[in-house]
């Protein structure tokens, strides 16, 4: 029987916002580049961010995808937060998904993982429009009911009106009291690689002004 293991996350990043929708196709002649967001639009939201985790081990590789990450970024203050619904992780193997939710993540008891933190340095709007900027975020990550202080790397840039944020980092299952059965402990990796991708449009004017 296949087992697997939990994950985590996260990084960087997130709390609610709407993923950028693909604009309807227009004739090339009529297509226009999106107008830059005003400098005052420094709050960005999404509720369709993406997080994946991967672990390679002798017993089997473990990989899952979640497209329901919610996130909010306040670039004026450098504050950010995100929330990940644990039952939204999708596995290729249904049995592995069941084990993840029931035995490892205990998703009914701990339905979400959360992160809140602050950028150590906030890039200027000009820098974000010039291209990807390396950043570091320091804050608290809560997984499986355990909260730990973390500092993770990331990349940020502005693509039209969207703030794009990506991050990759590793999570130790033992740090979050995720238990691996003794029978398979030597065949399952103790570290999980987490990747986050968030494409966040500006918050609506009424929301951004709060």
Average pLDDT of the chain, as a whole number:
81
Q: Is residue 32 part of a domain?
A: no
Q: Is residue 72 part of a domain?
A: yes
* Structural domain count of the chain: 1
User: What pLDDT sits at residue 16?
Assistant: 36
CA distance 110 to 89: 14
pLDDT digits (tens, 9 = 90+) for 135-181: 999 999 999 999 999 999 999 999 999 999 999 999 999 999 998 77
CA distance 60 to 187: 8
Q: Token digits for 175?
A: 């740090």
User: What pLDDT sits at residue 187?
Assistant: 65
CA distance 117 to 106: 25
pLDDT grade, residue 111 (50/70/90)?
very high
Which range among 7-11, 38-42, 179-183 shows the weakest confidence by mean pLDDT?
7-11
Residues in the chain: 210
Domain enclosing residue 86, as ranges: 40-208
- CATH number of residue 163's parent domain: 2.40.128.110
> Which of 38, 12, 7, 8 has the alpha carbon at shortest distance from 198?
12
């Amino acid at each position: 029987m296949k087992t697997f293991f939990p994950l985590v996350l996260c990084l960087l990043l997130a709390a609610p916002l709407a993923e950028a929708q693909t604009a309807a196709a227009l004739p090339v002649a009529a297509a226009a580049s999106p107008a830059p967001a005003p400098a005052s639009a420094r709050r960005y939201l999404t509720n369709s961010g993406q997080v994946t985790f991967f672990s390679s081990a002798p017993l089997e590789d473990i990989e899952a995808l979640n497209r329901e990450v919610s996130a909010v970024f306040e670039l004026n203050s450098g504050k950010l937060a995100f929330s990940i619904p644990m039952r939204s992780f999708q596995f290729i193997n249904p049995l592995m998904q069941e084990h993840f939710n029931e035995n490892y993540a205990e998703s009914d008891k701990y339905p979400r993982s959360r992160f809140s933190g602050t950028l150590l340095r906030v890039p200027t709007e000009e820098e974000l429009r010039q291209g990807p900027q390396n950043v570091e975020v320091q804050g608290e990550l809560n997984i499986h009911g355990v909260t730990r202080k973390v500092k993770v790397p990331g990349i940020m840039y502005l693509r039209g009106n969207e703030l794009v944020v990506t991050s990759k980092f590793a999570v130790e299952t033992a740090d979050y009291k995720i238990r691996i059965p003794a029978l398979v402990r030597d065949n399952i990796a103790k570290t999980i690689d987490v990747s986050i991708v968030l494409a966040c449009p500006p918050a609506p004017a009424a929301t951004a002004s709060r």
